[in-house]
């Protein structure tokens, strides 16, 4: 299924030109127009899924192997020192385009790219509450 109003659907299916670095039957990877670092790319499924929650398991199972193939090649081409794979779900998590996509961000020594967060502490209370809820206890 495609969404006629989704810019990523149009890009993934070649209706809008992009700097494509990879394409197969299910995905297109493009260089990001607003890169966090040199070589920042997006992995887009050709079908429309709003976010990870909507992504079918069979498509989800393909995402990481495709991303690995791309970043392995890009690491050689760019000579970067590492990679961040970032996937946001929901506006509070930083998602701005509601078509599942994965950011593949090359990292360079001392590049200043800010992807961090303030480290917190797992309290005993939070740990116990979360584990209890996950186990189905109330």
**How high is the pLDDT of residue 10?**
97
**How high is the pLDDT of residue 138?**
62
Q: What distance in Å separates the CA atoms of residue 113 and residue 35, rounded to the nearest whole number?
A: 10
Q: Which two tokens stand for residue 18?
A: 């992009």
**How high is the pLDDT of residue 100?**
98
**How high is the pLDDT of residue 136?**
86
Q: Quick check: is 101 catalytic?
A: yes
Whole-structure pTM value: 0.90
Radius of gyration of the chain (CA): 17
Taking alpha carbons only, the member of 33, 23, 41, 34 closest to residue 85 is 41
Cα angle 100, 101, 103 (rounded to 5 degrees) comes to: 155
**How high is the pLDDT of residue 114?**
84
Give the residues of the chain that fall short of pLDDT 70.
Answer: 138
| Active-site annotation holder among 40, 48, 99, 101 | 101
């Amino acid at each position: 299924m495609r969404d006629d109003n989704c810019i990523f659907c149009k890009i993934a299916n070649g209706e809008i030109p992009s700097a494509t670095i990879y394409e197969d039957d299910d995905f297109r990877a493009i260089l990001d127009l607003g890169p966090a670092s040199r070589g920042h790319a997006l992995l887009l499924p050709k079908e429309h899924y709003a976010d990870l929650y909507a992504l079918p398991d069979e498509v989800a199972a393909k995402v990481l192997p495709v991303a690995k193939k791309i970043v392995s090649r890009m690491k050689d081409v760019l000579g970067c020192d590492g990679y961040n794979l970032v996937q946001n779900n929901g506006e509070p998590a930083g998602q701005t385009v509601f078509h599942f996509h994965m950011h593949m961000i090359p990292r360079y020594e001392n590049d200043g790219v800010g992807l961090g967060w303030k480290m917190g502490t797992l309290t005993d209370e939070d740990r116990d509450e979360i584990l209890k809820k996950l186990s189905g206890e109330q």
